[in-house]
Amino acid sequence: MSAFPTSESRSSLYILISAVFISALISANLIAVKLVVIAGQVLPAAIVIFPISYIAGDILTEVYGFKRTRSVIWLGFLCNLLVVLAIWIGSLLPPAEFWKDNVDAYETILGYTPRLLMGSFIAYLAGEMANSIVLSRMKQATKGKWLWSRTIGSTLVGQGLDSVIFITIAFAGEVPELWRLIWIQWAAKVLYEIVATPITYGVVTTVKRRERLDSYDWGIQLNPIKFWK
Specify the pLDDT at position 228: 59
Determine the distance from the C-alpha atom of residue 155 to the mean position of all C-alpha atoms in its chain, rounded to a whole number.
Answer: 11
Per the structure, how many domains does the chain have? Answer: 1
DSSP tag of 223: -
* Residue 66 forms part of a structural domain: yes
Please state, in angstroms and rounded to a whole number, the distance separating the CA atoms of residues 218 and 83.
36
Residues of the chain whose pLDDT is less than 50?
1-9
Q: Residue 227: its pLDDT value, please?
A: 64
- The rounded Cα 90 to chain-centroid distance in angstroms is 25
Residue 161 is predicted with a pLDDT of: 95
Q: How far apart are CA 170 and CA 192, in angstroms?
A: 23
> Would you say residue 100 lies in a domain?
yes
Indicate whether 217 belongs to any domain: no
Q: What is the pLDDT of residue 8?
A: 45
Tens digit of each residue's pLDDT (9 = 90 or more) over 37-70: 888 887 888 888 989 999 999 999 999 999 999 9
| Domain containing residue 64 | 7-211
Helices (H), 1-49: 7-31
Any bridge partners for residue 140, and if so which? none
Q: What is the pLDDT of residue 6?
A: 47
What digits encode the pLDDT tens for the residues 7-34?
444 579 999 999 999 999 999 888 887 8
SS percent in the chain: helix, strand, coil, step 5: 75, 5, 20
**Amino acid residing at 25:** L
Whether this model's pTM surpasses 0.75: yes
- What's the burial of 158, exposed, middle or buried (CB within 10 Å: 0-12/13-18/19+)? buried
Does 228 reside within a domain?
no
Report yes or no on 151 lying in a domain: yes
Any domain includes 113:
yes
229 domain-assigned = no
Burial profile 56-68: b = 16 or more Cβ within 10 angstroms, e = fewer: bbbbbbbbbbbbb
Residue 184 forms part of a structural domain: yes
User: In this structure, are residues 166 and 123 in contact, taking their beta carbons and an 8 Å threshold?
Assistant: yes
At 43 the pLDDT is 81
